[in-house]
């Protein structure tokens, strides 16, 4: 009963420090906050044993099946689908081995990988998937976390084990024949080339579509989403809109992607779904920066994943973890878990490393080490929204370097694509907590350096479910437009934070937060205001080791915030 009584008096401004109830609440809160913060800090530590994260690596027989023996021709004209698929099938029947793609230009339609097969591309090999969209039949599959109908992926496998794509060659998905393009995303000469090549324009003339079928799909509600009673033939009129992912592996085990360049995907580039033991090593993924939905790799509902020593430049998220969308994702109930990402570089992308927004099955036990993000829209991007549900927890990030980030270096956003995200703080109404309420908790992020971004750190939780239990250590943010913005968060610790934004009035903005601690905080000595605090529900904010040392005058209070909510060292 003490907390409601005391907080009500704080909110109404009727604070009487002689009141025994108020003094008891303050003392108890201080003790509990200190104990809780200590326990939280002790529990949230770097995982000592990463053996659970290590995937089992497939082993392949040495027998080689050269696609030329099955009639394939490297003349850039012959459609080699049947010849290459015959080599894959023969290899699988023989118990596995290597399907060899020699150097040369190999034109093909969609291929299905089988158990035991390692498709190996020699240096100088270009496996070019045809731009003839009629070669890709409609199939029932899964897309963006929902059961859907799409065109068959150029490379697919389902229920296979011990499969691989290796070598030094290039796989081109022919995505430019599928993708719509926004006029605002490309230079004028590229736009003119698209328009003159054929296709159709949207009614407002701002988007180019490769066909009338593609345009019709863009105007169709829930295009491609499978609903009870539907047949695949029901989607024929919008077939061209239902772009495939370049690679789609479903329910496969022991997968190796190594050395190859994947480029120009119609939609997502690499999509392992409900797979186990995936190793991705030394690959390159490239899509134009205007490639709509042109993600690099989307790991969905997978267990034991290693992504290492790889480079990504994409039109959407670079490295992304997912686990299904909304009720369907929760019913599937398959989290993405035990993922290790290390020594990767991401250039243009919507996010360097991303979790969400389709994370309804949960994501947990993820380690990201020694990655570099240059020129991406966001660096570390964690996104969800009401209705998703799912728990994202035990996420560990260490040693990330960023430069020229367009938006946010570190982003936690629980309002992804929400229409009410711009409602002023305090006016957003809390909703009942249900299984559809998403949870972000237990993140440890350390040793991050960013030079250049719109915002250094942006944290936006929900009133009913704040972002919680975050620990950010040894973070250096410079030449950002804004420093730290944090709302609806609790149990957050910042340790050794250097925040030097261009905008220093204020350096940090906090609203409706509880149990927030800053230890060793560094900022521009010429800053006009260190922190703006808004809202009547703030509590337990502590600043220690502030450099330069400043007094209460460096904190601005508004919308019900009062000085009693903040504890300065020595005060």
What is the pLDDT at residue 547? 84
Give the pLDDT mean for 193-216. Answer: 96
- Binned at pLDDT 50, 70 and 90, residue 17 comes out as very low
Asked if residue 241 lies in contact with residue 266, where contact means CB atoms within 8 angstroms, the answer is: no
In the residue annotation, 316 being an active-site residue is answered as: yes
Asked if residue 552 lies in contact with residue 529, where contact means CB atoms within 8 angstroms, the answer is: no
- Binned at pLDDT 50, 70 and 90, residue 427 comes out as low
Q: In what order do the strands lie in the sheet with 181-182?
A: 181-182, 207-209, 200-201
What is the pLDDT at residue 232? 96
pTM of the model: 0.91
- Binned at pLDDT 50, 70 and 90, residue 549 comes out as confident
Spatial CA neighbour of 416 closest among 381, 450, 390, 446: 381
- Binned at pLDDT 50, 70 and 90, residue 37 comes out as very low
What is the pLDDT at residue 569? 77
Distances (CA, A) of 501 to 304, 325, 470: 38, 36, 22
Give the pLDDT mean for 36-60. Answer: 80
Model pLDDT for residues 226-253, shown as the tens digit of each residue:
999 999 999 999 999 999 999 999 999 9
Model pLDDT for residues 286-336, shown as the tens digit of each residue:
999 999 999 999 999 999 999 999 999 999 999 999 999 999 999 999 999
Model pLDDT for residues 439-449, shown as the tens digit of each residue:
999 999 999 99
* Dihedral sign from CA coordinates of 192, 197, 203, 209: negative
Asked if residue 287 lies in contact with residue 313, where contact means CB atoms within 8 angstroms, the answer is: yes
Asked if residue 390 lies in contact with residue 333, where contact means CB atoms within 8 angstroms, the answer is: no
> Which is catalytic among the residues 350, 365, 398, 413?
350
HSE (CB half, 13 Å, CA atoms) of 334? 18
DSSP string, 449-517: EEEEEEEEEEEE--SSS-EEEEEEEEEEEEEEEEEEEEEEEEEEEEEEEEEEES--TTSEEEEEEEEEE
In the residue annotation, 350 being an active-site residue is answered as: yes
Give the pLDDT mean for 101-114. Answer: 98
What's the per-residue H, E or C state across 169-222? CEEECCHHHCCCEEHHHCCHHHHHHHHHCCCEECCCCCEEECCHHHHHHHCCCC
E strands, 109-180, where? 111-112, 117-121, 125-129, 138-143, 146-151, 155-158, 161-167, 170-172
> Which is catalytic among the residues 316, 365, 398, 408?
316
pLDDT at 16 > cutoff 50:
no
């Amino acid at each position: 009963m003490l907390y409601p009584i005391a907080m009500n008096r704080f909110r109404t401004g009727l604070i009487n420090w002689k009141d025994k109830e108020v003094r008891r609440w303050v003392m108890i809160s201080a003790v509990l906050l200190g104990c809780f913060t200590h326990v939280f800090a002790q529990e949230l530590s770097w995982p000592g044993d990463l053996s659970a994260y290590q995937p089992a690596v497939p082993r392949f027989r040495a027998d080689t099946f050269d696609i030329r023996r099955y009639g394939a021709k490297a003349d850039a004209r012959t459609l080699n689908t049947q010849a290459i698929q015959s080599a894959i099938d023969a290899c699988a029947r023989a118990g596995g081995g290597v399907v060899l793609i020699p150097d040369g230009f190999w034109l093909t339609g969609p291929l299905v990988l089988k158990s035991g097969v390692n498709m190996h591309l020699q240096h100088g090999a270009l496996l070019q998937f045809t731009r003839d969209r009629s070669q890709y039949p409609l199939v029932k599959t899964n897309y963006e976390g929902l059961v859907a109908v799409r065109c068959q992926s150029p490379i697919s496998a389902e229920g296979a084990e011990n499969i691989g794509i290796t070598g030094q060659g290039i796989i081109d998905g022919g995505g430019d024949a599928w993708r719509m393009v926004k006029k605002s995303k490309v230079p004028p000469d590229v736009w003119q080339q698209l328009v003159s090549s054929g296709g159709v324009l949207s009614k407002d003339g701002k988007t180019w579509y490769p066909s009338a079928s593609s345009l019709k799909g863009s105007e169709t509600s829930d295009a491609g989403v499978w609903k009870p009673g539907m047949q695949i033939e029901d989607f024929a009129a919008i077939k061209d809109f239902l772009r495939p992912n370049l690679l789609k592996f479903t329910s496969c085990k022991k997968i190796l992607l190594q050395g190859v360049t994947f480029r120009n995907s119609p939609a997502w580039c690499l999509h392992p779904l409900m797979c186990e033991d995936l190793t991705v090593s030394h690959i390159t993924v490239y899509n134009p920066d205007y490639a709509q939905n042109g993600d690099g790799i989307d790991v969905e509902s997978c267990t034991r994943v290693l992504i290492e020593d790889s480079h990504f430049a994409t039109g959407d998220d670079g490295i992304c973890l997912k686990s299904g969308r909304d009720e369907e994702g929760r019913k599937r109930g398959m989290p993405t878990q035990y993922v290790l990402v290390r020594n990767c570089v991401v250039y243009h992308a919507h996010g360097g490393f991303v979790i969400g927004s389709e994370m309804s099955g949960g994501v947990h036990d993820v380690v990201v080490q020694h990655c570099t993000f240059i020129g991406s829209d966001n660096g570390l991007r964690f996104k969800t929204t009401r209705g998703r549900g799912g728990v994202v927890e035990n996420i560990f990030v260490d040693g990330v370097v960023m430069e020229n980030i367009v938006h946010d270096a570190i982003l936690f956003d629980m309002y992804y694509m929400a229409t009410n995200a711009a409602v002023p703080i305090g006016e957003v109404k809390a909703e009942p907590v249900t299984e559809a309420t998403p949870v972000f908790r237990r993140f440890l992020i350390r040793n991050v350096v960013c030079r250049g971004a719109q915002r250094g750190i942006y944290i936006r939780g929900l009133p009913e479910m704040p972002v919680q239990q975050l620990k950010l250590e040894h973070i250096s943010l410079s030449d950002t437009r804004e420093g730290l913005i944090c709302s609806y968060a609790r149990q957050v610790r910042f340790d050794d934070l250097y925040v030097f934004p261009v905008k220093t009035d204020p350096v940090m903005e906090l609203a409706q937060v509880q149990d927030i601690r800053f230890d060793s905080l560094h900022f521009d000595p010429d800053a006009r205001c260190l922190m703006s605090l808004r809202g009547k529900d703030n509590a337990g904010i502590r600043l220690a080791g502030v450099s330069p040392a400043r007094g209460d005058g460096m904190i601005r209070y508004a919308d019900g915030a009062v000085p009693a909510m903040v504890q300065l060292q020595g005060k």
